[in-house]
A = this chain, B = another copy of it.
């Protein structure tokens, strides 16, 4: 049987080039089972090709891992872009849409957290090419959040961005260790409380100081 006969082609006839198939297989396997747990041969086989072709497109497994993470980061950026399109000119709306999306991912049982953060846990060696990708992604993510908060006129936008990202990472890793019950809702609740605690800079309420507390604690 030809290995090329049973593959996820978009359309019949035109074949997906092997490099993309390899990356897709790597994404799936690395994410689901962990990076060290997956061998190159398994990836090649899942992509409907073989190890030789893999090594014609990627110089080493480590570089394949780096490319896998680059692609994961791009996907996260696409998610951000969708939020931006859904709420143009409304930075806080974009953040909330993004938060909702993250909460949805959290409750999805076949998700295993952030591919980049997991890789950071799994690959502690500072020289691994993946570390660069992880670092750049996290910086971009923080800047994106901080920019939105600044546009929204919130206080201490960078600090708020860091805190919110801390919260999200915690939720993701917690989902893997203890469970996902009510985690999405809790993420949104806490995120909203954080945003509120950084004030809306006298946007709609004149009374000073303690205005944000209302949304932190829902009516018991």
Contacts and interface: CB of A to CB of B under 8 A. Distances in A.
A118 B193 CA distance: 28
A148 B155 CA distance: 32
A184 to B, nearest CB: 12
Contact of A124 (B112, B155, B199, B212): B112
B170 A166 contact: yes
A178 interface: yes
A188 to B, nearest CB: 12
Contact of A167 (B117, B121, B155, B166): B166
Given A121-B113, A177-B117, A209-B213, A163 B138 contact: no
Interface residues of A, number: 54
Contact of A197 (B112, B122, B166, B216): B216
Identical subunits present: 2
A217 B174 CA distance: 27
A197 B168 contact: no
A32 B125 CA distance: 10
Interface in A140-175: 142, 155-156, 159, 162-163, 165-174
Judged by DSSP, the binding face of A is helix
Nearest to A171: B166
Nearest to A213: B210
A34 interface: yes
Interface of A: 32-34, 36-37, 112-113, 116-118, 120-124, 134-135, 138-139, 142, 155-156, 159, 162-163, 165-174, 176-178, 186-187, 190, 193, 197-199, 209-214, 216-217, 220
8 contacts: A117-B177, A142-B178, A159-B186, A166-B186, A167-B167, A170-B171, A210-B211, A210-B214
